[in-house]
Amino acid sequence: MAKLNECIPFGLILAVPLIAYVTAENISVPVYGALGDSVYLHFNTTLNSSVEVQWKQGDKPIGMFKNNRMAFNNPYINRTEIFANGTLRLDRTQKNDSGDYSVDVFNTNGTSIFKGSMQVYIQGELPLLKLNMS
């Protein structure tokens, strides 16, 4: 069953007001994030450094992590990161970031060793800043 962890990585709380961090095991789970904030998508599985991790939104590839390197597709360049443990961080979320996300993990032989999916909902509006010009 999916769990919403209350543990926020040290140092990120100052830069990001809200972080959604979800774990799942081969199941589809809903994930909620605030518009403009960061969302972490993580599946509760153990990975070693020699695997290949591929993330998609629907049928659109987001990016991959392989041989300690990341590669991303537009429009995810410069606002996403995939960590060695397979976690996907999506920064500066937009309304069109809502949708089905999936991850595929392959071993060095190219054999699938893990698959997971989750539905992401980006909600809310960015707050308007009011300037006091007096």
List the structure tokens of 94: 């937009």
Q: Using pLDDT thresholds of 50, 70 and 90, give the confidence band for residue 13.
A: very low
Q: Using pLDDT thresholds of 50, 70 and 90, give the confidence band for residue 132.
A: low
Q: Mean pLDDT lowest for which of 20-24, 38-42, 86-90, 110-114?
A: 20-24
Q: Give the span between the Cα atoms of 69 and 77, in whole angstroms.
A: 14
DSSP 7: -
Q: Which residue has the tokens 């629907």?
A: 58
Q: Using pLDDT thresholds of 50, 70 and 90, give the confidence band for residue 125.
A: low
Q: Which residue has the tokens 């937009």?
A: 94
Structure confidence at residue 2 (pLDDT):
39
Residue 16 neighbours by CB under 8 Å, 6+ apart: 37, 38
| Among the four given CATH numbers 2.60.40.10, 3.40.50.150, 3.40.1350.10, 2.30.110.10, the one describing domain 3-123 | 2.60.40.10
Give Cα separations from 80 to 64, 88, 100 (angstroms). 11, 7, 16
Given a cut of 70, whether residue 39 has pLDDT beyond it is yes
Confirm if 79 and 22 have CB atoms less than 8 A apart: no
Give Cα separations from 77 to 46, 89, 91, 105 (angstroms). 26, 12, 10, 21
